[in-house]
Each structure stands twice: as C-alpha cells, then as structure tokens.
Amino acid sequence: MLQAAIVLFILALVAAALGFGGIAGGIAGIAQFCFYVFIVLFLVSVVMSALKGRTPV
C-alpha cells in the first residue's frame, strides 16, 4: 500500500511538472488517501501485536 502511495505521489509530481493541474490534484488526492490507509493499518498492527504480548517490529 505504501508503494502504491509513493508511485501515485511520483505520478502527481510528474503531472504537476507538465502542467496538468487537475490530473496532478486528483492523483495527489489518491496518494494521500492511500498513505492515510497505510498509517491506520500500521497502527492497528502495532496495537494488535502489543495486545498479544509480542514486541512490535
């Protein structure tokens, strides 16, 4: 998921550099959404592993 967010971020930068403002904004929004989903899933994983008694990696 993080890799997809990074790829979409790079696509947004390329689109912005080429002057496609609407496309860049849309791709950046999708990348931002993917990034937030990744952060939430990561935090859930850390909490669940802590509740099971394992140390988070």
42 pLDDT more than 80: yes
Are 19 and 3 in contact by the 8 Å Cβ rule? The answer is: no
Interatomic CA distance for residues 3 and 13, integer angstroms: 15
Q: In the predicted model, what is the mean pLDDT of residues 5-31? A: 76
What integer pLDDT is reported at residue 50 of this predicted model?
Answer: 83
56 pLDDT more than 70: no
51 pLDDT more than 70: yes
Percent of the chain with pLDDT over 90: 0
Does the pTM surpass 0.75? The reply is: no
What integer pLDDT is reported at residue 5 of this predicted model?
Answer: 76
